[in-house]
């Protein structure tokens, strides 16, 4: 068993490994690292091989911290372990230790403050969390990726899937169809501009921050062109009124970004949008539709309560992950940076929204 760094010529080797694992996290795909590299993050990829086959890996995004000549390391939805290729718990431990040892060398070279991970590991996998804790990881004070989601099983017929939805969701899908809502896939530059205009309206209405247009243009250039994402738009009487961006990798499709107009909400375009995505995903032979972020502990008053109620209507399987964990390399800088940044974010939310709680609050 050995560990080595993965370079650009091995892009397909890396993607084949990640895409064939059960969770196949697209945020660990080679293209996601290349995409984030356009915004100040340096991707570093390490793989553990056994008999010439990758059995574990981690893609880390490194970013310099201004003024103090340190950096932070973040592995979104990593590390990735192919448990089917590993015979027992001790071997899993060895693979993770191999990865952490190699990452620690990079951390020393780049003067890293900490390593943050949020692997696609269910909170029911207590042994995995215990293992990471014994290796020195501690619970992060803040989530980066959503800790909970609904996942719709696509290994069924369209009729069976539709029948499994909550009655109100089925009604709204049919209502949109009767009213003449039309959904079109459009990953073109024009389609992306339509999405972004709706997204700006949504952000202004619901008071959340979004990236500039260039972010989504590069997403299109790097991910869409590789078949890892696309854009769907709902039209009513020829006017775009809702849109979604989805990602696709391995056997899974993810709903990543949603936008809608305040006009014509009564024709329920969002319900039909997701139904069309499901039909499209089944045609492409994907096995799961991940609705992405919901509150881990939903209750009325939560910023995502409405989103939770909407996504719940599609009757997906509720999945909760173990959440973000930190491995501090420099305890002093770690405490200053981790808690100081969170304090600043809370203050910014208070000024902008009038409240500290955000959409990733438990």
73: cis peptide before it, omega within 30°? no
Pairing relationship of beta strands 112-117 and 42-50 according to DSSP bridges:
unpaired
Cβ pair 61, 36 in contact under 8 A? yes
d(C-alpha 57, C-alpha 24), whole Å: 12
Torsion of CA 191, 194, 195, 199, to 10 degrees: 170
Q: At CA 19, angle to CA 105 and CA 132, rounded to 5?
A: 45
SS3 content of the chain, % helix, strand, coil (to 5): 45, 25, 30
Q: Which residues of the chain does CATH 3.40.630.30 include?
A: 2-145+321-353, 148-319
State pLDDT tens for residues 55-104.
999 999 999 988 888 999 999 999 999 988 898 889 999 999 999 999 99
Q: Which residues contact 231 (CB under 8 A, 6 or more apart)?
A: 185, 186, 187, 191, 192, 195, 220, 224, 243, 244, 245, 246
Cβ pair 215, 41 in contact under 8 A? no
State pLDDT tens for residues 233-266.
999 999 999 999 999 999 999 999 999 999 999 9
CA neighbor of 318 nearest in space, from 326, 327, 308: 308
How much is the average pLDDT of 46-62?
Answer: 96
Q: Give whole-number Cα distances, 360 to 206, 238, 278, 326, in Å.
A: 15, 35, 26, 17
* Biggest CA pair distance of the chain: 61
pLDDT band at 356 (very low <50, low <70, confident <90, very high): very low
Secondary structure E strands in 25-155 = 42-50, 53-65, 70-75, 80-81, 112-117, 138-139, 148-153
Sheet holding 239-249, edge to edge: 182-185, 229-236, 239-249, 252-260, 288-290, 148-153, 317-320
For residue 77, give both structure tokens: 């939805």
State pLDDT tens for residues 285-308.
999 999 999 999 999 988 899 999
Work out the percent of the chain whose per-residue pLDDT is above 70. Answer: 92
Confidence (pLDDT) at 61: 98
State pLDDT tens for residues 152-184.
999 999 999 999 999 999 999 999 999 999 999
When the candidates are 3.40.50.10240, 3.30.830.10, 3.40.630.30, 2.130.10.10, the CATH number that belongs to 148-319 is 3.40.630.30
Confidence (pLDDT) at 358: 57
Confidence (pLDDT) at 96: 93
Classify 136 in phi/psi space as left (phi over 0), alpha (psi -120 to 50) or beta. left
* CATH superfamily entry for domain 2-145+321-353: Gcn5-related N-acetyltransferase (GNAT) (3.40.630.30)
d(C-alpha 126, C-alpha 247), whole Å: 29
How much is the average pLDDT of 125-131?
Answer: 92
What's the predicted TM-score (pTM) here? 0.93
d(C-alpha 330, C-alpha 113), whole Å: 5
Confidence (pLDDT) at 225: 96
> Would the CA dihedral through 175, 179, 180, 184 be positive or negative?
negative
């Amino acid at each position: 068993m050995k560990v080595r760094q993965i370079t650009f010529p091995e892009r397909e080797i890396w993607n084949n490994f990640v895409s064939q694992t059960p969770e196949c996290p697209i945020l660990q795909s080679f293209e996601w690292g290349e995409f984030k590299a356009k915004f100040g993050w340096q991707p570093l990829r390490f793989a553990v091989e056994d008999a010439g086959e990758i059995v574990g890996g981690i893609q880390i995004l490194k970013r310099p911290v201004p003024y103090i000549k340190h950096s932070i390391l973040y592995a979104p939805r990593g590390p990735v372990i192919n448990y089917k290729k590993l015979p027992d718990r001790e071997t899993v431990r060895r693979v993770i230790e191999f990865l952490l040892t190699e990452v620690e060398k990079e951390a020393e070279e780049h003067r890293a403050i900490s390593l943050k991970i949020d692997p696609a590991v269910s909170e029911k996998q207590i042994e995995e969390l215990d293992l990471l804790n014994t290796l020195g990881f501690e619970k992060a004070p803040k989530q980066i990726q959503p800790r909970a989601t609904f996942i719709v099983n696509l290994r069924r017929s369209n009729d069976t899937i539709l029948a499994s939805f909550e009655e109100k969701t089925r009604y709204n899908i049919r209502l949109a169809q009767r009213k003449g809502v039309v959904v079109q896939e459009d990953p073109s530059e024009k389609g992306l501009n339509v999405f972004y205009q709706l997204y700006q309206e949504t952000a202004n209405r619901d008071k959340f921050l979004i990236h500039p247009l260039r972010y989504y243009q590069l997403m299109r250039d790097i991910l869409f062109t590789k078949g890892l994402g696309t854009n769907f738009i709902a039209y009513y009487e020829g006017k775009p009124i809702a849109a979604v961006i989805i990602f696709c990798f391995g056997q899974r499709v993810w709903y990543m970004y949603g936008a809608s107009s305040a006009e014509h909400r009564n024709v329920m375009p969002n319900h039909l949008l997701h139904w069309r995505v499901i039909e499209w995903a089944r045609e492409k032979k994907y096995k799961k539709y991940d609705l992405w972020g919901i509150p881990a502990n939903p209750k009325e008053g939560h910023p995502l309560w409405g989103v939770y109620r909407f996504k719940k209507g599609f009757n997906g399987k509720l999945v909760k992950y173990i959440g973000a964990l930190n491995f501090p390399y420099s305890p002093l800088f770690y405490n200053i940076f981790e808690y100081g940044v969170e304090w600043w974010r809370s203050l910014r939310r208070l000024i902008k929204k009038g409240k500290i709680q955000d959409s990733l609050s438990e």
